[in-house]
Chains A and B, each alone.
Chain A
C-alpha cells in the first residue's frame, strides 16, 4: 500500500498519534526507500509508539524484538526445540518403529523450530512491522549481526539452507542514545530524532488521549510540563506518558484548573524520584509553576531541531 505524505499524516492522526511534519516525512521516506527507521530520543516521547501505529496503519502484524544486554542470535533469530527433539529420540528408541534416517530428518523439521522475532519477520506472509526496541542495549557483536540481517533480509539455517524474506518488512529501531550505535547500523537506516514536544503539540496529544479534560486544564498542564522541562535540571524529565498520567489524575481529582494544592498532591505522578521532587520544591515550587502556567509566560522552548 503506497501512501503519500498527506495520507500518512492523516493515517497517523486516525491512529491517535500526533506527529509533527518532520516525523511524518521521515517515516514516509523510510517506507519509500524501504530502509529501517531508526528513532532516537529521550525515554517516553513516543518512539515505540511509531511502530505500533505503523502496524495499525497498514493493518499488519507487529513483531517485537525487545533488546537487552546479552541478547544473542538464539533468542533473536531461531532455536531448535532441544527438549522436544530429545523426547522424539527417546520415543523412537522405545518404539523402534521409525528408521534412523527418518528420525534424523524429522528432528530438524518445522515442528522442532522455535521461531524468534527476526525469523518470524522474514517468514511472514504479509509485510509485517518489525520493532527492534532499545537497540542501544545490545552488545556490539549482536549489532553487527543485526545489520547484516537488516541489509539482506535473509538468514541461513544450516539444516535448511538460506531463507529469503518474501517481502521487505517495515523495520523500526528505537534507541535511548545510551550508547552510540555503530556507523554501519546507522548508515543503513533513515534517522529520526524525537524530542520532547513543544506545548502546542503536547496540548494536542492531551486533548486526543484524555478527551474528558477541560480545555483550560489541558492548556495549563501542557504549559506547566514544558516549563518544568525547560527550567529544571532533572534526573528524569517528565515524558509524554507522565503528562498524560498527570492529566488523567487531575481529571480524577475533579480539578478544572491547576492550583498549588492540587499540584502538590500529584507531584509523584510527574516526578519519578525523590531527588527530582526536591529539586522542584527548591527551585520552582507549586506556586510559581501554577502562576507561570496560568499567565502563559511559561511556554517552553519548542522542540526544535537537534
Chain B
C-alpha cells in the first residue's frame, strides 16, 4: 500500500513536470478530450491528423467559433458522415459553463429517475406466498440482477402489468415445493426473452463506445440522441420505416443498389491493366519499319462484365423485409443487364424475366406476388441451392458474383452449408446481406456456419447498405 502511494506521488510529479505552462495546457487538454470523444463516436483520427488540427487552430482566429469548427472539420473529419458527427460533437462539447451545468443537471435527473425506477422494480414484482405450516402469507420479491431490473424498466407498460398479473394470479395460494425458485426462474426467463426482443428491435445510430467517464459520456449521449433524431431514416430498421418515408427510402435503396452494381463491375475491369506484349502482332505491325520494334502491341485481357446472381429469401421470417428485398432486386436489375434473380423459401423460383421488363416497380411487384407461391413460407436454403446448382448450372462460373439476401434462418443448416461451400468454389465471390442484427450473430449457429464461405454483412438499415458500399471488399 505504501509503495502504491509513493508510486502515485511519483506519477503525479512526472505529469506535473511535463505539463506545459499556463493557458496552453488548458487548450491542449480540451482538445485532446474532444479528440477522445470523436474517437469514441467512431471517427478515426490519427496522431498526424491531431497535430494538423493543432496547427490549423494556430492559423485561424481562435475567437471565431465558425473558424475553429472549420479548422476541425478540415483536419479531422474526412467524409460527409464524419462531418455530421463532428459538427454535433462540436456543438455539444464547446458550450458555455451555464449550458454545461444545465446538461449535467439534466443528465443527473435522468439517472436518478432510472435509479428510482430500478428501485421500484423490487416493489412491483412482489407476490404473496402462503406459508403452508401456519397459513400466514408473506410478501416475497423476485431476486433479480441489476441488468434484469433494467430490462424490466424498459418494457412497455402493458407488458409490465402482464408480468405483475401473472405473478398475482398464478402463485397466490399455490403451495408447491420451493415456489420461490420456480417463480424467480419464470420471471427471469421471461425477462430474458424481452432482452432478446429489445435487442432485436432496438435500432439506433452508429455504435458508440461509452467511456465510463461521466462528463465524457454525457456528451456522447447528447450527440447520439441528436443523431438519432436527425438521421432517423438512415439508422432505422428497414422493417420499421413508416409508409410516409417509403418514397425517400425507396429512392435511397435504388441509388445504393445502383452503386453496388457499378462497384462490382468496376472491380473486374482492373484485369485490363495486366498487359503482356503481343509478339505476333508487334512483329507484323513493325515489318513496315524494317523490323525495328517501333510500335509495341499489347495483349489485353478481354474485359468481361461480371454476372450477378441474386438470391433473395422471401420466407416468413423475412416477410418484414420483403419490401426492401424487392426494392433492392428491382434497383439492381434496372441498372445491370447481366443479372439473374431468384427468390426462394421452400422452393426456388427464377424471377429474372419479371425484373428484366422495363415496367414500373408497382406493376412488377403485383405481377410477381400474384404469380409466385413462395411468399411467406418456411425456408429451405439447402433445397434452393441444390436446385440452382442442378437446373441453372450454366449460370455458375468464375465470372459470377453471388449476392444472397437472407436472415440465415433455414432448416438443414449443415447440408446448406456444404452446398454453399460448393457454390463458393464455382463462382467468383459470394456476398451475403444478412438482415439479422449483428449482435445476435454469435448466438445464431446458422450465421456462424454460413459465414465461413462468404462475406457476410449486417444489412437491416440503409446506413448498413451504405456502409457495405464503402467496405474494403468492394473496393
Is the pair A191, B44 in contact by a Cβ cutoff of 8 Å? no
Which residues of chain A have C-beta atoms less than 8 A from B55's C-beta? 33
A299 at interface by CB-CB < 8 Å: no
Residue in B56, B83, B263 whose CB lies within 8 Å of A193: B83
Residues of B65-80 contacting chain A, CB below 8 A: 66-67, 70-71, 73-75, 77-80
Residues of A269-306 contacting chain B, CB below 8 A: 305-306
Is the pair A191, B266 in contact by a Cβ cutoff of 8 Å? no
Residue in B74, B75, B294 whose CB lies within 8 Å of A83: B294
Chain B residue at minimal CB-CB distance from A185: B78
Cβ proximity bits A28-44 to B, threshold 8 Å, 1 near / 0 not: 11101101001010000
Distance in Å: Cβ of A151 to nearest Cβ of chain B: 10
A-B contact count (CB 8 A): 96
- Please name 7 further chain A to chain B contacts, defined as beta carbons within 8 Å, in addition to the given A25-B67, A35-B52, A233-B251, sorted by A numbering: A25-B71, A33-B52, A179-B263, A180-B470, A189-B78, A306-B81, A306-B83
Residues of A210-265 contacting chain B, CB below 8 A: 233
Main secondary structure of the interface of B (DSSP, over half): helix
B148 at interface by CB-CB < 8 Å: no
Interface size on B, residues (CB 8 A): 42
Which residues of chain B have C-beta atoms less than 8 A from A192's C-beta? 74
Chain A residue at minimal CB-CB distance from B295: A83
Is the pair B66, A190 in contact by a Cβ cutoff of 8 Å? no
Which residues of chain A have C-beta atoms less than 8 A from B74's C-beta? 25-26, 29-30, 190-192
The distance in angstroms between the C-alpha atoms of A35 and B48, with both chains bound, is 12
B169 at interface by CB-CB < 8 Å: no
Is the pair A140, B475 in contact by a Cβ cutoff of 8 Å? yes
A152 at interface by CB-CB < 8 Å: no
Interface centre among A38, A82, A179 (most CB of B within 10 A): A179
Is the pair A22, B294 in contact by a Cβ cutoff of 8 Å? no
Is the pair B78, A38 in contact by a Cβ cutoff of 8 Å? yes
The distance in angstroms between the C-alpha atoms of A293 and B180, with both chains bound, is 72
Which B positions have Cβ atoms within 8 angstroms of A? 44, 46, 48-49, 52, 55-56, 59-61, 66-67, 70-71, 73-75, 77-81, 83-84, 87, 247-248, 251, 262-263, 266, 269-270, 272-273, 292-296, 470, 475
A110 at interface by CB-CB < 8 Å: no
Interface size on A, residues (CB 8 A): 38
Which residues of chain A have C-beta atoms less than 8 A from B262's C-beta? 178
Cβ proximity bits A5-31 to B, threshold 8 Å, 1 near / 0 not: 100000000000000011001101110
Residue in A38, A183, A233 whose CB lies within 8 Å of B247: A233
Is the pair B83, A305 in contact by a Cβ cutoff of 8 Å? yes
Distance in Å: Cβ of A76 to nearest Cβ of chain B: 14
Is the pair B46, A187 in contact by a Cβ cutoff of 8 Å? yes
Chain A residue at minimal CB-CB distance from B77: A191
Interface centre among A21, A25, A189 (most CB of B within 10 A): A25
Contact A29-B59, Cβ < 8 Å, known A90-B292, A233-B248: yes
Is the pair A86, B294 in contact by a Cβ cutoff of 8 Å? yes
Complex A-B, nearest 10 residue pairs according to Cβ-Cβ distance, in ascending order: A233-B251, A306-B84, A186-B78, A180-B470, A26-B74, A25-B70, A306-B83, A305-B87, A32-B59, A191-B78
Which residues of chain A have C-beta atoms less than 8 A from B81's C-beta? 306
Residues of A88-118 contacting chain B, CB below 8 A: 90
The distance in angstroms between the C-alpha atoms of A26 and B53, with both chains bound, is 12
The distance in angstroms between the C-alpha atoms of A140 and B267, with both chains bound, is 11
Is the pair A28, B59 in contact by a Cβ cutoff of 8 Å? yes
A72 at interface by CB-CB < 8 Å: yes
Is the pair A305, B73 in contact by a Cβ cutoff of 8 Å? yes
The distance in angstroms between the C-alpha atoms of A304 and B340, with both chains bound, is 41
Chain A residue at minimal CB-CB distance from B48: A187
Is the pair A86, B46 in contact by a Cβ cutoff of 8 Å? no
Residues of A143-197 contacting chain B, CB below 8 A: 177-180, 183, 186-193
Distance in Å: Cβ of A245 to nearest Cβ of chain B: 24
Chain A residue at minimal CB-CB distance from B248: A233
The distance in angstroms between the C-alpha atoms of A22 and B272, with both chains bound, is 41
Which residues of chain A have C-beta atoms less than 8 A from B61's C-beta? 5
Chain A residue at minimal CB-CB distance from B293: A86
Which residues of chain B have C-beta atoms less than 8 A from A183's C-beta? 44, 46
Distance in Å: Cβ of B279 to nearest Cβ of chain A: 16
Contact A193-B80, Cβ < 8 Å, known A25-B70, A26-B73, A180-B470: yes
Is the pair A25, B75 in contact by a Cβ cutoff of 8 Å? no
A139 at interface by CB-CB < 8 Å: yes
Residue in A72, A86, A140 whose CB lies within 8 Å of B292: A86
Which residues of chain A have C-beta atoms less than 8 A from B70's C-beta? 21-22, 25-26, 29
Residue in B80, B247, B296 whose CB lies within 8 Å of A40: B80
A125 at interface by CB-CB < 8 Å: no
Which residues of chain B have C-beta atoms less than 8 A from A193's C-beta? 73, 80, 83
The distance in angstroms between the C-alpha atoms of A82 and B67, with both chains bound, is 52
The distance in angstroms between the C-alpha atoms of A154 and B354, with both chains bound, is 57
Residue in B56, B79, B269, B272 whose CB lies within 8 Å of A29: B56
Contact A177-B75, Cβ < 8 Å, known A29-B60, A190-B52, A233-B251: no
Cβ proximity bits A188-209 to B, threshold 8 Å, 1 near / 0 not: 1111110000000000000000
